[in-house]
Structure 1
Amino acid sequence: MQSIQIGLTKEHPCSYLDGQKERVAVAIDPKMQTAENYEILLANGFRRSGATIYKPYCKHCSQCQALRVDVMNFIPSRSQRRVINKSRHLRFELKDRLDSEWFSLYADYIAKRHNTGSMYPPDKKEFEHFASCPWLQVNYLHIYDEDKLIAIAVMDVLPDCASAFYTFFDPENSLSLGTVAAIFQIEYCKLAQKQWLYLGYQIDSCPAMNYKVRFHPHQRLVNQLWRG
């Protein structure tokens, strides 16, 4: 990857690991703010929040590892096949904007699943700022049970890959909707002939992230090399 300008944030308490400090490197070169260049940055361990492109750059910790699923060779596990069978009645639609009822679903999800996190209390404008990006095609994979909206996966669609950005769903639904959303995103990527689906950062010691390693085959970025 070509050399790019980065800026470093100040250290602050880690959002995922107790007792750890985190900081990130931010790509500040505006020339990198295109779909093609962002795809290169994704392959080098960067992600985005809103229009900001960042990468963990912690002094004393390197547990965050970017993870991507090999879309065309994906084979669901036994438990994932059970989820697929239980959710055959569901359907998804990829849209370039959110359905009008999205916020009530999001607010219920945050209130019941993440009421101690940084996104509580749920705020419509804050989420729109967090999810949107003026220089990127952001899509919203809507999942329906008949005509009822039960989940939305925010998804960045790029020339040769896609990035799973954020998912929220009906917290009272008995199906494993987080897994369903990831499987549907893989299904979309297959149809669109995308090579990779990026699932964000994996931290092995953070139980909330361990669902990612259940998607096979996948690769992790370790010391700037993708390893299967």
Structure 2
Amino acid sequence: MNDISYKLGVSKIFPCNYLPEQEERLLIAIDDRLANSESYGWLMTQGFRRSGEQSYRPHCPQCNACQSIRVITNDFLPSKSQKRSKKRNSHFIIKQSAQLKDSYYPLFENYINTLHQDGSMYPASFEQFKSFLSCNITKQLFIETWAPVTQENGLCEETLVCVAVTDVLSNGLSAVYTFYHPEYKNHGLGVFSILTQLSFCQQMSLPYLYLGYQIDDCQKMNYKDRYFPFERFIAGEWLLNSKASTNNHTIAK
């Protein structure tokens, strides 16, 4: 695919949503030939992400803070805190779906309207939910986390508390978005969902879990470099980061 030229668009410059006083611009894959699973997987190897049906990559005038990260799943070793997360949440029941269910919306709405009132998606709407999370260019995997809840009558029922929206690529999974019940925030479901996605990668023999953009100076976006070992996409190369060494090493493709 590297020998083929594709048509890309460049967005207008607008204020950055993550770093104050910075300006943001996007490189957008607008070529129809890129709107398929194989091409989307290739775009991910070039540092792109997806929102709805649109694949994009930061193309900012004077900033390169957004750096794509992918975890090397076969070599992943959980930290002590990540092991505690798996143990603390081991009572949850994990299920999966291949489609975006309308029944997810109340959970999504509660999550956005309770925990992200300062974000661009507030207030939540069903139309936004569908356009943001659904996708026709690649297969999807919706990883559901259910909590067993004992009712007053003594019967145990299952309550959906978290959904991790995940794209299926030829060389990995891509963590698109995770939303959860605000009452379960103390369970660290964001971390637990990444650990669950890593387990799915291992079960599916997929080498990478793409986590999106790491932004070191943004509190909301600087958590993705805690899953070792991982590769960070810098200046067109995937560079290895591991606990054993803080130096970057170029990985041959």
TM range (shorter): over 0.9
1:20 correspondence with 2:32? no
Shift of 1:97: 2.2
Shift of 1:101: 3.2
Unaligned runs of 5+ in 2: 149-157, 241-253
Counterparts of 1:1-228 in structure 2, within 5 Å, are 1-2=2-3, 3-146=5-148, 147-173=158-184, 174-228=186-240
Q: What amino acid does structure 2 have at the position aligned with 1:83?
A: S
Higher-RCO chain (CA-CA 8 Å, sequence separation at least 6): 1
Q: What amino acid does structure 2 have at the position aligned with 1:15?
A: N
**Alpha carbon RMSD of aligned pairs, Å?**
1.1
Q: What amino acid does structure 2 have at the position aligned with 1:185?
A: Q
Deviation sequence 1:79-108 (CA, Å, 0-9, x none): 101111101111212201244531111111
Q: What amino acid does structure 2 have at the position aligned with 1:163?
A: S
Asked if structure 1 preserves the Cα contact closer than 8 Å seen for 2:72 and 2:207, the reply is yes
Q: Which has the larger radius of gyration?
A: 2
Shift of 1:121: 0.3
Decide which moves more: 205-214 or 57-66.
205-214
Q: Secondary structure at the match of 1:212?
A: coil
After TM superposition, the score normalised by the length of structure 2 is 0.87
Q: What amino acid does structure 1 have at the position aligned with 2:197?
A: Q
Asked if structure 1 preserves the Cα contact closer than 8 Å seen for 2:40 and 2:137, the reply is no
Asked if structure 1 preserves the Cα contact closer than 8 Å seen for 2:108 and 2:129, the reply is no
CA distance in 2, matches of 1:12, 1:100: 33
Q: Which aligned segments of 4 or more residues in structure 1 are displaced greater than 6 angstroms?
A: none
- 1:99–1:26 CA distance, 2 compared to 1 (3 A): closer
State the identity as a percent. 37
Unaligned runs of 5+ in 1: none
Q: Secondary structure at the match of 1:219?
A: strand
CA distance in 2, matches of 1:101, 1:86: 27
CA distance in 2, matches of 1:92, 1:52: 29
Deviation sequence 1:166-209 (CA, Å, 0-9, x none): 00001111200000111101111110111100000011001112
Q: What amino acid does structure 2 have at the position aligned with 1:216?
A: F
After TM superposition, the score normalised by the length of structure 1 is 0.97
Deviation sequence 1:106-138 (CA, Å, 0-9, x none): 111111210011110011111110111222112
Decide which moves more: 1-10 or 50-59.
1-10
